[in-house]
Structure formats: structure tokens, C-alpha cells
Structure 1
């Protein structure tokens, strides 16, 4: 798939870390380091602007290493970049740890997965088909 991209950052384009990676690392594009205090959230610029084809979205997801080692994650995860959005991609990071964390320019702050999606056309009905699960909600399937 070809995706048009404008890179106004100081860094190379996002890339896959391995041949079978689903996500590409996204880097912070900062003029100076940003400190995230405990429970603080900030919008971090990337310098990236993309043009996705119709029927696709870019999902912004946390990096497991930042989450495990430092408690840094995305506040709205996955964040969705719609195909008609043309602004700069910004990443809302939050610090869920008890220690301040400094984000450096060029640091890998999240990963982006490009995924297809379907458009829904609603069909109003009076009754839904039965299933084995039925209306069972949260925790319905129990522990295994």
C-alpha cells in the first residue's frame, strides 16, 4: 500500500522494526525535551502529515517498553487518524508512574498500525438472532 506523507520532522520516516512487525515506530519531534510529571498528559508533535486511502485508518498504540519500564502510555488508545484528516499527527501521552519522565526529541513514543475498516449501514429490526452467549456482559465467560 502506498500512503502519501509529508515529513516536517527532523527524523526519518516511520518504519517497521522487523519484517513481520504490524506497527511502525513514531518519533517525537521536539525543539526541546518535554517533562511529563506523574498523572500529567501532553500532546506531543510528530511532524508527520499523512493521506490515507478511503477505507483505512491509522491506529496509534502505546509502545510496550515505555509502558512497562516507565508507565508512559497513550491516553486514548488506540487513537484513530481518519483518512480525511490532513493535520499534523499529535500523540497524547500520559505518565501513569510516580516519577517524572522526560521525552527527548526523536524518541520512539508510540507505534502506528494502518488498518482497513468497513462502513456500517444500519438495518433497524425488532429482534436480534439468538446466540449461545446472548446478553451475557462483562466477565460473562468466567475464568478458565
Structure 2
């Protein structure tokens, strides 16, 4: 568990290993079904080999269930000349889920003045 949130490891939910050839793409299921309210924020942290390849997080709607759940899947495109192999239950990414801040905007017509240097935008004058 992270501060004010949760951490979830996404693994490849596949029966057998998948090979991805050069410039080929595959949709990898994680088997995680989730429903995000609008106040929940989330970040994905990918494993190094997926950062170097082209990887897209794909959240699909599950049409089989009556409750609206979404499955997290990954579209992986291999941009390396050698074949990439994804094994069953291999760690793909980490998902951090946390409560988003609630912001209330306040209208104002005048901004407070501050002492700034004249070197550049936001300058402290140092």
C-alpha cells in the first residue's frame, strides 16, 4: 500500500508464452476487472522492457456482465529486431490507485502582487 492509495501488480493472464516478432503487436490480458469513479486517479508504471517497446494501456468495457466493469489490457508493439517473449504470469506493470484532490475554484478579479526579480519569468533575482 502506498500513502493514501493502493498498489496493484499487473501480470500477464495468459495460458502459455506469447512471442512478438519485429513490428508485430499483441493484446495481453491482465485479468483485472475494475471500475474507476471520477474521483479516483491512477498511474501505470511499466516494466523496463515494455518502456523500451511501444506499450499502450487499453481499458475495455466488459459487455458480458450487467455491472459496468472494465478490463485492463496492454497492447504491446515490438520495435526490436529480436523476438520479444511474454511468459504466463509475467509481471507487466504496477498500477497505483489514489484519491484525487478535490479542488474548489474561487473567482477573483485582482491577483496579489509579489516581489520578483526582473531576470525572467518567476525570477527570484538571484
TM-score by length of 1: 0.52
Partner of residue 121, structure 2: 132
Structure with greater contact order relative to length (CA < 8 Å, sep ≥ 6): 2
Instruction: State the partner residue of 1:100.
Output: 83
SS in 2 for 1:88: strand
Which residue of 46, 50, 55 corresponds with 1:74?
55
Distance 2:93 2:54 in 1: 8
> What SS does the corresponding residue of 1:24 show, helix, strand or coil?
strand
Q: CA deviation at 1:38?
A: 1.8
Q: Distance in 2 between matches of 1:35 and 1:42?
A: 9
The 5-angstrom pairing of residues 1-144 of structure 1 reads: 23-64=7-48, 66-67=49-50, 71-75=52-56, 86-117=69-100, 132=121
CA distance in 2, matches of 1:24, 1:73: 22
Alpha carbon RMSD of aligned pairs, Å? 4.2
Larger Rg belongs to? 2
1:106 is paired with a residue of what secondary structure?
coil
User: 1: CA distance between counterparts of 2:98 and 2:23?
Assistant: 30
How many residue pairs align between the two structures? Answer: 107
Mapped to 1, the partners of 2:59 and 2:45 lie a distance apart of 9
More strand by share: 2
TM-score by length of 2: 0.58
Gaps of 5+ in 1: 1-15, 122-130, 134-144
